[in-house]
Amino acid sequence: MRLRVRSTSPSAETATYTHTMLSPLFFELAAFILGLLFGSFLNVCISRLPEHRSIAKPRSHCPQCKNTIRWYDNIPLVSWVILRAKCRECGEKISWRYPLVELAVGFLFVECATQYAMDGFNRFYSPYLPHLDPTTSLINDIAVAILGFLLIGLLVMDWQTHILPDAFTIPGIVVGFLLVCTQAIFLPLGAEDIHLTPRRNLRLSSPGSFAAHGNVFLTGTERLVFGRLAAIVGAALILILVRALYKVIRHREGLGLGDVKLLAMIAAFLGFWPAVLSLFLGTVICGFYAAILLARRRADLATQLPLGTFLCIGGLVSALAGEPLIAWYRSLL
Ligand SMILES: [Zn+2]
């Protein structure tokens, strides 16, 4: 963000205008292109991980004629359009999934970049809001970008193969938790502490002053790290409980362990309540989908549904719009 400088020369003024208007656009365009490249890599993961194939070797090739795809036929989005969704060698159709996944990751990265820019803009006017702190804001946006990337991949993989690979969910849990630890490292001293007797702290004191010491139950760092660990375990326990109940009532497996790890991963990145929100949204959407299938007689009560796909949709909504949704719900109470 740049302040406009009073200038006597109209061309200098226009230049400043152009600069302030163009730079966020370039920032977002860069995020979009980066998103397309990551989306292209995600497509490789989606094709290979459920079959336990390496994502590094061999190079991308057509599944029909096995010819290696040349670099100029492997440009995200562009090549698919130029080739009109067909393999250059054998004419085999290239699925809609490829450009859609690339576009989805592209828009996800644009959204994260915009959010980061917006936080910077808002910080300009209200510098003391803790969630607008530059490090917190950056870590949050990186977390949403990584989580969104993993969720888009898992969404497609569960839909197509009913498999939620550990190669995505388990590193996801670790990365989400490490990001919270990083956030905890940069937490200002005394911020987010939990006090035993909050009333005594009404006196004015700067963060980290000795006035508050001896009264702290959990420091902000402990609260963040232990709180997030509890969130991961709690979210997993909910689904483990549902899984056990289902087994007792229906005498068969109804819920995979992949779904348990997926929800734990969402909790690792976002916390407990956003994970619960994802579970709620996922279950509701899955219920609607099941009702439509039953009404059209395309399924019966024994049909397996890709719950993971719907949990991923819930997770994406939660990551991108969870805060306003939870605030709105609280305002109803
Ligand atoms: Zn081919």
* 3-class SS string, 240-305: HHHHHHHHHHHCCCCCCHHHHHHHHHHHHHHCHHHHHHHHHHHHHHHHHHHHHHHHCCCCCCCCCC
The stretches in the chain having pLDDT less than 50 are 1-20, 201-204, 211-212
| One domain for residues 126 and 173 | no
| One domain for residues 106 and 225 | no
**Model pLDDT for residues 133-159, shown as the tens digit of each residue:** 788 889 999 999 999 999 999 999 999
Residue 2 lies in a domain: no
In angstroms, what is the span from residue 90 Cα to ligand 1's centroid?
Answer: 4
Domain extent for 292: 166-195+219-333
In angstroms, what is the span from residue 69 Cα to ligand 1's centroid?
Answer: 9
Q: Give backbone dihedrals phi and psi of 194, rounded to 5 degrees, phi first.
A: -105, 125
In angstroms, what is the span from residue 48 Cα to ligand 1's centroid?
Answer: 17
pLDDT at 150: 98
| One domain for residues 116 and 170 | no
| One domain for residues 80 and 186 | no
In angstroms, what is the span from residue 78 Cα to ligand 1's centroid?
Answer: 18
pLDDT at 3: 36
Residue 191 lies in a domain: yes
pLDDT at 32: 96
User: Number of structural domains, the chain?
Assistant: 2
Residue 68 lies in a domain: yes
pLDDT at 194: 72
Residue 20 lies in a domain: yes
pLDDT at 13: 44
Residue 213 lies in a domain: no
In angstroms, what is the span from residue 86 Cα to ligand 1's centroid?
Answer: 8
Residue 151 lies in a domain: no
| One domain for residues 102 and 172 | no
Residue 6 lies in a domain: no
Residue 155 lies in a domain: no
In angstroms, what is the span from residue 72 Cα to ligand 1's centroid?
Answer: 15
Quick one: tokens of 56? Answer: 């590094």
The rounded distance, in Å, linking the Cα atoms of 26 and 286 is 39
Of 104, 131, 158, the residue that ends a domain is: 131
| One domain for residues 325 and 185 | yes
| One domain for residues 71 and 186 | no
In angstroms, what is the span from residue 235 Cα to ligand 1's centroid?
Answer: 44
pTM for the structure as a whole: 0.85
Of 107, 131, 155, the residue that ends a domain is: 131
| One domain for residues 28 and 84 | yes
- The structure tokens 């365009």 sit at 29
| One domain for residues 188 and 333 | yes
The rounded distance, in Å, linking the Cα atoms of 168 and 173 is 9
| One domain for residues 101 and 180 | no
| One domain for residues 303 and 185 | yes
Please write down the long-range contacts of 75-81, taking CB distance under 8 Å and 24 or more positions apart: 76/36, 76/37, 76/39, 76/40, 76/102, 77/36, 77/102, 77/103, 77/106
| One domain for residues 83 and 184 | no
